[in-house]
Copies of this chain bind each other. A is one copy, B any other.
Amino acid sequence: MKILISNDDGIDSPGILALADELKKIGQVTVIAPRTEQSAVGHSITMKMPLRITEYYRNGDFFGYAIDGTPADCIKIGIRNIMKEAPDIVISGINLGSNTAINIIYSGTVSAAREAAIMDVPAIAVSVTSHEAKHYKYAAELSRKLAELVVKNKLKTGTLLNVNVPDLPEEQIAGILLTQQGKSKWDDVYVERQDPYGKNYYWLTGNLVQVDNALETDQFAVRNNYVSITPIHFDLTDYETYDVMKGWKLENLGNNK
């Protein structure tokens, strides 16, 4: 099995090392990841600037390729110009901090996996729920088992799995749940400060407001110590509203021919 591993925390993060080491047990691993941290870049791609590819070493051994771009860039250039053929699976992570509910939209970790799905490659995004994660081992082992299951069960083209793992020892994990994206949102606050020249600047902070309370949602599942596995795709059409809008008679705004 050919496995491409990426992330958004950067190629020097402990999460990507734990993931690569574990996945080597079941396949040929290629690591292609951002040179620097790219959190919250969403599905950004680099078009106005060129990219560069640098070989990255850990303790003197070749570990992978560092790209001075976004997670989505890594998957695109990684498959097109480094691997030169599609891998059997792409795994993005292990991310520091959960990617549930509305955070899926902002996540660089998820965007790497989504770019793979766009390129028709099965993909998994994996996050642990703490920014000071202590328990990568269980998340890495679960990623390996899930990768085998995804390939065996032939996950639908264009769909990826978004996995969130509580940052707990394995014996404290309550179980594994199939979930849907939750509806939590951020209550944003921009902290206003003055720079040394008397000019104002604004720094984004905020609190995640949870509005779900069912184990079928990703956010609620991880808060109750379950691993959450959500199938997501990139068809953004709101079919319910599509049906409602048939009654809007949009054609009356123009002269339909």
Which residues of A line the B interface, CB within 8 A? 37, 39-48, 50-53, 72-73, 76-77, 80-81, 102, 104-106, 111, 114, 118-119, 142, 145-146, 149, 153, 155-156, 159, 173-178, 180-181, 185, 188-190, 192-193, 199-204, 227, 229-242, 244-246, 248, 250-251, 253-257
Supposing A192-B81, A231-B241 touch, asked if A106 and B52 sit within 8 A by C-beta, the answer is no
- Tell whether, in the assembled complex, residue A253 and residue B149 are in contact, meaning their CB atoms are under 8 Å apart: yes
**Does A180 lie within 8 Å of B106, measured CB to CB?**
no
Task: Indicate whether A188 sits within 8 Å of B254 (C-beta atoms), given known contacts A44-B42, A242-B231.
Answer: no
In the complex, what's the smallest C-beta–C-beta distance from A111 to chain B, in angstroms?
7
Copies of this chain, complex-wide, total 2
Alpha-carbon distance A142/B255, docked complex (angstroms): 12
Dominant secondary structure of chain A at its interface with chain B: mixed
Q: Is the CB of A77 within 8 A of B176?
A: no
The 7 nearest A-B residue pairs measured at CB = A175-B256, A42-B43, A50-B201, A231-B241, A42-B42, A176-B254, A232-B236
